Structure 1
């Protein structure tokens, strides 16, 4: 029997500052044979996410760095093509972390079939029903403790996480939801999702735009950006305001440390709570999240967008595009 060959993306070198295509390589490699307790999966959808930039650096973090010369990893939805001796069936769809490749051999005991979502692509498990959705849900409700009547500001509001966080805030009774985005088209998209106000952060200082959008201040900030967005939010947060610090994409590709907000003294005087979180610490919330988000999606109360890039050979383009703002909603690499 001929050896199955699959293509995968390797980390070729570690970047300094912004990553470039030269930091990656597209490699053809033999797919390992399926052993006892394993299944072979053909990936159909791959996720590319901002946090992966941190794994390209050889530094200690909450997840190990990618290894130079080896395949990268990430969320993926794959189709079982060889179930081996497992209880899975050929054609079952599974969610796993062996992305950035066309084929993956997985441990069957850690793999379960995904239930179909009528009317939606299975890629929804990489976005609205996956890590981005859970991040928005937990960050807003558990970390920031949003309450009905709160005024909420979400940065990077046209992205996979921010677009969902804003809609969840609206559904949970926020009195006003404000978002920032990077283009006029994205601002229009955010407003169409039901945000009460949105602004393009390229149009002027974020502090001024937020002050105009929230003249009475805000109670909750969902931070995907850091930098000037966090500083602006600290200035506008009212007494006992809360911020969920999810990401700081403004500094992910910086070659020198990005200065922090210069107004941290306000955290003391206004009794603010700024809390960072890593979503993998909150997997126990997945059942509640799936139940509530599934209902919202089914009823049309939550909408989401996916930006598709086709082919493993374009996975790097998709990843770099996340930092260049080419996506609206979740960036997905489609291998069908």
Structure 2
């Protein structure tokens, strides 16, 4: 078969021939891959920087996809650990890690939105006991996952959602997706702190895709402005687009009810993640959750890897 093949962690994958994988277990089948998303998680695995990377080459990247069985069934699936990746003409699917999609589903929309949508969906549904009526701040709301997080928070019953990001133009678009307020993160430190204090002082949950300096600014700004510092603030760390580390004075953990936790592969079990897939896929398939996708044929994977797109978009590789 043809696949995107990584032969060096220092170079993008190329469209090459690669041995077709074979089903091994009783629950495994071989499917034709229809569409696979080029997610940040896929990029980090392909350059060897992800914390789960085993360092073995050559490899085929791709962690999920939409595929079609030999009898025409359309599936969304998450690749098994250690399996050949999904950016290929064919992939092995463990039926226990797959869900059936309606026949009229747009496979590109599902391939683009499931992985980024899963981050906030799982965080709110499995990592937290999120209750309707709560309020949410999304740090990094102008990216693909952040845009979906705004929509998901509203869909799950958030009374108020605040989106924070660097692009004023994309921030304004969030209001059409359900954001009640927006916070630009491109002013002076004092301007950012003042706006966070005004718009997000009493939120219940922060979904954080940024970490780094924005989080260092946001934690003290919000905690100092809270009406009741003993009210729980659940800070869920999902991404680190702005930096891997923060400096957090210990006093903030004593002077407020700050609960720092992460949500991702390892902190949430595989079964818990898989259990959330049908409901999330339904919302995407019906159009209740929308993302922005850029479809490109798999044979152009090398060009796709270096293509400049908006942070709110997601490249999807297709087998046409």
Q: TM-score, normalised by structure 2?
A: 0.77
Aligned position for 1:247: 239
Q: Tell me the residue number matched to 1:67.
A: 56
Is residue 55 of structure 1 aligned with residue 45 of structure 2? Answer: yes
8 Å Cα contact 1:224-1:247 kept in structure 2:
yes
Residue of 169, 172, 185 corresponding to 1:188: 172
CA deviations over 1:27-78 (Å, ceiling 9, x no partner): 42154386786644332211122223443455783x3335333322321212
- The CA deviation string for residues 239-266 of structure 1, in whole angstroms up to 9 with x for no partner, is 3211111111223xxxxxx541344531
For residues 33 and 50 of structure 1, do their structure 2 counterparts lie closer, same or farther at Cα, with a shift above 3 Å needed?
Answer: closer
| 1:225 matches 2:210 | yes
The answer to whether the 8 A contact 2:141-2:150 is kept is yes
For residue 9 of structure 1, give the secondary structure of its aligned residue in structure 2.
strand
CA 1:166 to 1:27, structure 2 compared with 1: closer, same or farther past 3 Å?
A: closer
Alignment size in residue pairs: 302
Q: What is the aligned partner in structure 1 of residue 120 from structure 2? A: 136
**Partner Cα distance (2:99, 2:124) in 1:** 29
Kindly provide the CA deviation profile for residues 77-105 of structure 1, in whole angstroms up to 9, marking residues without a partner as x.
Answer: 1223xx4xxxxx1x222324254533224
Note if contact 2:139-2:164 (Cα within 8 Å) is conserved in structure 1: yes
Correspondence for 2:192: 209
Q: Aligned in 2, Cα 1:210/1:76: closer, same or farther, shift over 3 Å?
A: farther
1:12 to 7, 16, 37: 7
Per the alignment, residue 79 of structure 1 pairs with: 68
Give the Cα–Cα distance (whole angstroms) in 2 for the partners of residues 212 and 49 of structure 1. 31
CA contact (8 A) 1:177 1:196 kept: yes
After TM superposition, list the pairs within 5 Å mapping 1:54-203 onto structure 2.
Answer: 54-56=44-46, 61=51, 63-65=52-54, 67-80=56-69, 83=70, 89=71, 91-94=72-75, 95-97=77-79, 98-99=84-85, 101-106=87-92, 114-116=100-102, 118=104, 120-128=105-113, 130-201=114-185, 203=186
Query: Considering only aligned residues, what root-mean-square deviation do their CA atoms show, in Å?
Result: 3.4
State the alpha-carbon separation in 1 of the partners of residues 242 and 34 from structure 2. Answer: 30
- Asked if the contact 1:309/1:318 (under 8 Å) is kept, the reply is no
- Separation (CA, whole Å) in 1 of partners of 2:57 and 2:260: 35
Write the mapping of 1:243-282 to structure 2, written as runs, cut at 5 A. 243-251=235-243, 258-279=244-265, 281=269
- The reply on whether 1:234 has 2:234 as its aligned counterpart is no
State the partner residue of 1:291: 279
Q: Secondary structure, in 3 states, of the residue corresponding to 1:24? A: coil
Find the residue that maps to 2:254 and give its secondary structure. helix
With structure 1 as the length reference, what TM-score do the two structures score? Answer: 0.74
Contact 1:72–1:100, Cα closer than 8 Å, also in 2: yes
Task: Provide structure 1 residue ranges, at least 5 long, that are not aligned to the other structure.
Answer: 16-22, 84-88, 252-257
